[in-house]
């Protein structure tokens, strides 16, 4: 969702802000803007649209100055328009702010500011911040105190960066429930909503914690709590390199990230799970919390725990429903799975849980989820820029298998993934038939059930085709009424003991005129299919889920590309979903 970038130093701020906004594009946005301060000249340029168009149309490059802030907005309060784009200013044009999150008490603050004569230029919740700071500057002796008073008055979630003529060399930062990092340079400093925007400049980062304030100028970084008690900043080094964050000759990030998955297996299996294994041994009751693709990894985790680890009672929860479905339970071991570590639904579920034992499985060091958990397991998958999760999903599965079975299956999994990446051309061809259908069911059973859900989500997410996943045996309890000529069902059909039942489900669809597609290593499925891809290597039944990971990702990718959609940036979606 919204992206933040800030710079103070000796170089042209507008160039660094524009480049940073390009790096943040993957988060999803609908408008962009920057503010640059040059002495006492504060200029804001912004509009709805993409970074390339707005930055050239509004001549970002013509702004001179070496301190500034930039923002990409994903609309929540107020429509997609130039006025609602960030940065926002005050009544005098002396202040510029950018904000991610939601100011929940903005209406109350706005009414009070309106009664004092403030004029608002947008419908956003964010604009109250600049006017409140303007008001506080009149009352408090220093800009820093005025900033802390402003932040203390806010309820909700925020990552805020403020630039003011009153302190022309300083950026003011604050964070609560929305990520914000400071990047440390030499004679220059940076801030951003995530590391990836700053990897060209620095690897040394300070991750702001909730209810912290920071100021950065070109030579120093100061950290405070809300009462302005100084805190000692502790920096972490991020070892992601810029190249892994670039497309490296591929047409899209998504295909690059799909194809680098053989290496992801090795990296994910190197995850340190030693602190977590004793907990997994000890606890009977396990709650797994996640959203979207991560939920599908969690679903497989829960099936494996219940079926293959005796004495375990695992439940998987869609994060946004966790609070609605259980009472807080301090006797449960919690696993929270989130590649970004910033998914608001997951964070809220973790705050609700009273368990002292919370383990996160995440790809992002220093992310909010790590602060809410007693233990963190890192996926080591490197930066994932495409909105569609691919390699982080595989890495989640690898970490789950490592937790349950150690390194026993690592090499077989790697071989399966490597073999699957070689089937691109066949899947591209297959996708041409898939996209001619108006409705596609993904049907599967057993351990491959989560893969059916994931394949369907990936397809609809980036190709906008209507698709739905079902446990194949459930179809006859209602959904079978939708099957008729022209409706397509894609079966994930590994040669397992469950295959006979799945075969029966296939016959049910076929008898009603449905078009049958299969991904299978089983000849009987092949002969009953309208179209079949024999790209599923025979393997240990426990490992069949891995046989479908790459084919389903490639199927979604090529469907999207054939339909003329940019798979990296599906409409309406964001990489890091920081609102509930
Ligand atoms: C996956 O392709 C989606 N973009 C989405 O479902 C995603 O997995 C979900 O938003 C959860 O994200 P997280 O893993 O960062 O928590």
pLDDT tens column, 464-496: 999 999 999 999 999 999 999 989 999 999 998
Atom 12 of ligand 1: nearest residue by CA position: 338
Q: Are 77 and 8 in contact (CB under 8 A)?
A: no
CA gap 250, 372 in Å, rounded:
37
Q: 505 lies in a domain?
A: yes
Residue 339, ligand 1, Cβ within 6 A: yes
Catalytic, out of 22, 391, 402, 575: 575
pLDDT above 80 (res 239): no
Helix (H, G, I), strand (E, B) or coil at 521: coil
Atom 16 of ligand 1: nearest residue by CA position: 338
Residue count (the chain): 580
Residue pLDDT, tens place only, 550-579: 999 999 999 999 999 999 989 888 888 888
Q: Is the peptide bond before 87 cis (omega within 30 degrees of 0)?
A: yes
More confident residue, 59 or 536: 59
- CATH number of residue 438's parent domain: 3.40.50.10490
Residues 328, 334, 338, 340: is their CA dihedral positive or negative? Answer: positive
Helix 544-562 crosses helix 424-434 at what angle (to 10 degrees)? 60
Report CA(126)–ligand 1 centroid distance (Å).
Answer: 26
Indicate whether 353 and 277 sit together in one domain: yes
Atom 2 of ligand 1: nearest residue by CA position: 388
Indicate whether 337 and 442 sit together in one domain: no
Report CA(461)–ligand 1 centroid distance (Å).
Answer: 11
- CATH number of residue 134's parent domain: 3.60.20.10
Report CA(88)–ligand 1 centroid distance (Å).
Answer: 30
Q: 574 lies in a domain?
A: no
Q: Are 238 and 206 in contact (CB under 8 A)?
A: no
CA gap 70, 4 in Å, rounded:
6
Q: What contacts 56, CB < 8 A, 6 or more positions away?
A: none
Mutate to test the pocket of ligand 1, among 292, 339, 372, 560 (most ligand atoms within 8 A of CB): 292
Q: What is the pLDDT of residue 77?
A: 86
Q: Which domain-ending residue is among 348, 381, 408? A: 408
Establish how many alpha carbons lie within 13 A of residue 488's alpha carbon, considering only the half-sphere containing its beta carbon. 20
Indicate whether 377 and 452 sit together in one domain: no
Nearest by Cα to 348 from 181, 177, 99, 573: 177
Give the range of the structural domain holding residue 358, as residue numbers without chain letter.
Answer: 247-408
Residue pLDDT, tens place only, 405-427: 999 999 999 999 999 999 999 99
Nearest by Cα to 3 from 404, 485, 340: 340
Indicate whether 383 and 446 sit together in one domain: no
Active site residue 2: yes
Indicate whether 512 and 365 sit together in one domain: no
Indicate whether 447 and 485 sit together in one domain: yes
Q: Which domain-ending residue is among 379, 408, 437? A: 408
Nearest by Cα to 569 from 442, 462, 431, 443: 462
Average pLDDT, the chain: 95
Residue 484: Cβ within 10 Å count: 10
pLDDT above 70 (res 87): yes
Residue pLDDT, tens place only, 348-402: 999 999 999 999 999 998 889 999 999 999 999 998 989 999 999 999 999 999 9
Residue 387, ligand 1, Cβ within 6 A: yes
Residue pLDDT, tens place only, 130-171: 999 999 999 999 999 999 999 999 999 999 999 999 999 999
Q: Which domain-ending residue is among 377, 408, 439? A: 408
């Amino acid at each position: 969702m919204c992206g933040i970038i800030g710079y103070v130093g000796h170089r042209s701020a507008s160039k660094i802000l524009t480049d940073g906004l390009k790096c943040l594009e993957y988060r999803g946005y609908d408008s962009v803007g920057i503010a640059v301060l040059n002495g006492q000249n504060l200029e804001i340029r912004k509009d709805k649209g993409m970074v390339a168009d707005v930055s050239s149309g509004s001549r970002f490059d013509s702004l001179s100055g070496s301190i500034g802030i930039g923002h990409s907005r994903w609309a929540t309060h107020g429509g997609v328009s130039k006025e609602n784009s960030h940065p926002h200013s005050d009544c005098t044009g002396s202040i510029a702010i950018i904000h991610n999150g939601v100011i929940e008490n903005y209406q109350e603050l706005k009414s009070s500011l309106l009664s004092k004569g403030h004029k608002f230029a947008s419908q956003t919740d964010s604009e109250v911040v600049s006017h409140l700071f303007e008001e506080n500057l009149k009352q408090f002796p220093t800009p820093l105190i005025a900033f802390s008073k402003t932040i203390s008055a806010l309820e909700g979630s925020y990552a805020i960066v403020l630039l003011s003529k009153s302190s022309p060399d300083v950026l003011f930062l604050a964070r609560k429930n929305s990520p914000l990092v400071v990047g440390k340079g030499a004679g220059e400093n940076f801030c951003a909503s995530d590391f990836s925007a700053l990897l060209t400049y620095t690897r040394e980062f300070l991750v702001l914690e909730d209810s912290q304030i920071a100021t950065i100028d070109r030579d120093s970084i100061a950290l405070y709590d809300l009462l302005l008690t100084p805190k000692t900043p502790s920096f972490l080094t991020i070892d992601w390199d810029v190249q892994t964050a670039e497309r490296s000759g591929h047409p899209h990030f998504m295909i690059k990230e799909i194809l680098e998955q053989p290496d992801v297996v090795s990296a994910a299996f190197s995850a340190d799970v030693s602190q977590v294994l004793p907990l997994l041994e000890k606890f009977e009751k396990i709650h797994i919390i996640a959203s979207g693709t991560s939920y599908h990894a969690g679903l497989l985790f829960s099936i494996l725990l219940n079926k293959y680890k005796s004495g375990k009672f695992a439940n998987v929860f869609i994060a946004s429903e966790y609070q609605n479905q259980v009472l807080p339970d301090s006797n449960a071991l919690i696993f929270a799975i989130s590649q970004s570590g910033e998914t608001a639904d997951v964070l809220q579920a973790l705050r609700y849980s009273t368990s002292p034992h919370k383990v996160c499985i995440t790809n992002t060091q220093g992310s909010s989820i790590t602060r809410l958990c007693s233990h963190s397991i890192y996926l080591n998958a490197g930066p994932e820029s495409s909105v569609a999760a691919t390699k982080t999903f595989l890495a989640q599965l690898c970490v789950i298998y490592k937790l349950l079975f150690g390194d026993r299956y690592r090499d077989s999994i790697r071989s399966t993934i490597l073999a699957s990446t070689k089937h691109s051309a066949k899947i591209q061809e297959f996708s041409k038939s898939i996209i001619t259908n108006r409705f596609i069911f993904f049907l599967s059973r057993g351990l491959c059930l989560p893969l059916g859900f994931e394949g369907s989500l990936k397809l609809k997410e980036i190709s906008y085709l209507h698709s739905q996943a079902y446990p194949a045996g459930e179809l006859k309890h209602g959904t079978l009424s939708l099957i008729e000529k022209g409706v397509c069902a894609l079966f994930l059909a590994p040669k397992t003991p469950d295959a006979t039942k799945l075969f029966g489900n296939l016959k049910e669809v076929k008898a009603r005129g449905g078009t049958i597609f299969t991904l299978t290593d089983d000849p009987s499925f092949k002969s009953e299919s309208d179209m079949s891809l024999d790209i599923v290597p025979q393997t240990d039944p426990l490992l069949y889920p891995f046989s479908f990971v790459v084919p389903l990702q490639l199927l979604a990718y090529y469907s999207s590309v054939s339909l003329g959609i940019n798979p990296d940036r599906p409409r309406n979606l964001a990489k890091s979903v920081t609102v509930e």
